[in-house]
Amino acid sequence: MTLPLQDYEDFQFLPQQLSHVDSVWVNHHNHWLSESSAVFEIFTYLGFPYSILSILKILPVSFTNAIYRWIARHRYQWFGRKNESCDIEIGSSS
């Protein structure tokens, strides 16, 4: 289960100590994974060719988390930022 922490309701699913952290989180068999560990778990679910990247789990977590944080700091410089959104009316019967 993955949760984008954009909606207030999503916070109820996270343990209290995780709700303030700015990172990707994945719940794998009732065990919370964050940062590079979460990304590697996501890679395994994406299938080939992304699943090949999960081999990087053999590297020390401190190293892969440092790389994760470095990519996170620079992602908007490299890829830009898109602020696309749309309004959705809920409960409207038109």
Q: What is the model's pLDDT at position 63?
A: 95
Does pLDDT of 1 surpass 50?
A: no
Q: Give CB contacts under 8 A, 24+ apart, made by 39-43.
A: 39/68, 40/64, 42/2
One-letter amino acid of 61: V
Answering whether pTM is above 0.75, one says: no
Give the pairing of strands 25-28 and 31-34: antiparallel
Q: What is the pLDDT of residue 60?
A: 94
Using a 10 angstrom Cβ sphere, with 0-12 exposed, 13-18 middle and 19 or more buried, the burial of residue 18 is middle
pLDDT at 10 over 90: no
pLDDT digit string, tens, across residues 20-77: 567 777 888 878 888 888 889 888 888 899 889 888 889 999 999 999 999 888 888 8
